[in-house]
Amino acid sequence: MFRHNAQRKTAFAEEQTTWLRLKKDHIAASYSIERDDFDCSPLSDRGGLQKSLGLA
């Protein structure tokens, strides 16, 4: 992620970075991520699946 931001003119926005970290942490703890996982905290606290996809 840091390499991406350093090498690109269009770096990840703060909200995108937050979502990437949340997803990484969830996958590290659960070894997977599924649609239903976005209905649980902390993913749901940030807007759930719709927000993670940038649709909300």
For 5-52, give the DSSP string. Answer: HHH-SSPPPHHHHHHHHHHHHHHHHHS---GGGGGSTTTGGGTHHHHH
Output the pLDDT for position 23. 92
Output the pLDDT for position 37. 93
pLDDT band at 14 (very low <50, low <70, confident <90, very high): confident
pTM: 0.67
Give the residue numbers spanning the domain of 23.
2-52
Say if residue 56's pLDDT is above 80.
no
Specify the number of domains making up the chain.
1
